[in-house]
């Protein structure tokens, strides 16, 4: 979006804007995909390390781990009798104990380890690519230069708002994040458009 605004401001013809914008959308989408993929993979490796550490501590320091979990359960509002019942059951099954330790102490679930990095990376890369294409749509028509800029900005900022606010995810709609995402995009657009105007006047 900001790239097309800069090119528009510089007076570049629409054909060049389309080519450059498409190349940027592809490159940006791939960059987002791989950065998200590598980030998630590193995160999973860290989680696996935490799991193995907790597993070892349960084997080598069971009393300490039991005391930690009892304190955490008490802080969460469980009565002493309830804590005793829970601990009696958990200590008979070390895998169940491990899951409870991870949940209450590290706030993580073993199910997170089964999530493939590509599941997070693919939507990130695709979202960037689609957003890039949206910004290009007006330049594929016979709009006047400023009209194309305005429509491109409207489509892009609307998409940024949707991506930021997550209206399609139940109970996760966040108006402030949507507005923040759109505002950041608008600032970037204005700055690069101004840069384009300056470059075009030289």
Three-class SS of the chain: CHHHHHHHHCCCCHHHHHHHHHHHHHHHHHHHHHHHHHHHHHHHHHHHHHHHHHHHHHHHCHHHHHHHHHHHHHHCCCCHHHHHHHHHHHCCCHHHHHHHHHHHHCCCCHHHHHCCHHHHHHHHHHHHHHHHHHHHHHHHCCCCHHHHHHHHHHHHHHHHHHHHHCCCCCCCCCHHHHHHHHHHHHHHHHHHHHHHHHHHHC
More confident call, 172 vs 93: 93
- pLDDT computed for residue 99 by the predictor: 87
- pLDDT band at residue 199 using 50, 70 and 90 as cut-offs: confident
- pLDDT computed for residue 76 by the predictor: 85
Segment 100-118 shows an average pLDDT of 79
- pLDDT computed for residue 103 by the predictor: 85
- pLDDT computed for residue 31 by the predictor: 92
102 has a pLDDT exceeding 90: no
- pLDDT band at residue 1 using 50, 70 and 90 as cut-offs: low
- pLDDT computed for residue 168 by the predictor: 58
Segment 2-7 shows an average pLDDT of 81
- pLDDT band at residue 167 using 50, 70 and 90 as cut-offs: low
- pLDDT computed for residue 26 by the predictor: 92
| Weakest-pLDDT range from 27-31, 89-93, 131-135, 167-171 | 167-171
Question: Mean of the per-residue pLDDT values for the chain?
Answer: 85
Cα gap 29→182, rounded to integer Å: 19
169 has a pLDDT exceeding 60: no
| Weakest-pLDDT range from 17-31, 69-83, 111-125, 175-189 | 111-125
30 has a pLDDT exceeding 90: yes
5 has a pLDDT exceeding 70: yes
- pLDDT band at residue 33 using 50, 70 and 90 as cut-offs: very high
- pLDDT computed for residue 201 by the predictor: 79
Answer yes or no: are the C-beta atoms of 109 and 12 closer than 8 Å: no
Task: Tell me the two tokens of residue 51.
Answer: 């799991």
């Amino acid at each position: 979006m900001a790239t097309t605004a800069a090119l528009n401001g510089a007076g570049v013809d629409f054909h060049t804007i389309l080519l450059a914008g498409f190349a940027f959308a592809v490159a940006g989408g791939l960059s987002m995909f791989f950065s998200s993929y590598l980030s998630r993979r590193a995160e999973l490796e860290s989680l696996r390390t935490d799991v193995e550490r907790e597993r070892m501590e349960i084997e080598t320091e069971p009393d300490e781990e039991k005391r930690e979990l009892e304190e955490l359960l008490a802080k969460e509002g469980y009565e002493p009798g309830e804590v005793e019942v829970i601990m009696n059951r958990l200590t008979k099954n070390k895998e169940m104990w491990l899951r409870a330790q991870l949940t209450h102490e590290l706030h993580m679930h073993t199910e997170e380890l089964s999530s493939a990095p590509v599941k997070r990376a693919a939507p990130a890369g695709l979202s960037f690519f689609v957003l890039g294409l949206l910004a290009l749509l007006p330049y594929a028509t016979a709009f006047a230069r400023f009209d194309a800029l305005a429509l491109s900005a409207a489509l892009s900022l609307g998409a940024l708002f949707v991506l930021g606010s997550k209206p399609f995810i139940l109970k996760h709609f966040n108006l402030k994040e949507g507005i923040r995402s759109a505002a950041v995009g608008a600032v970037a657009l204005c700055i690069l458009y101004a840069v384009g105007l300056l470059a075009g006047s030289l």
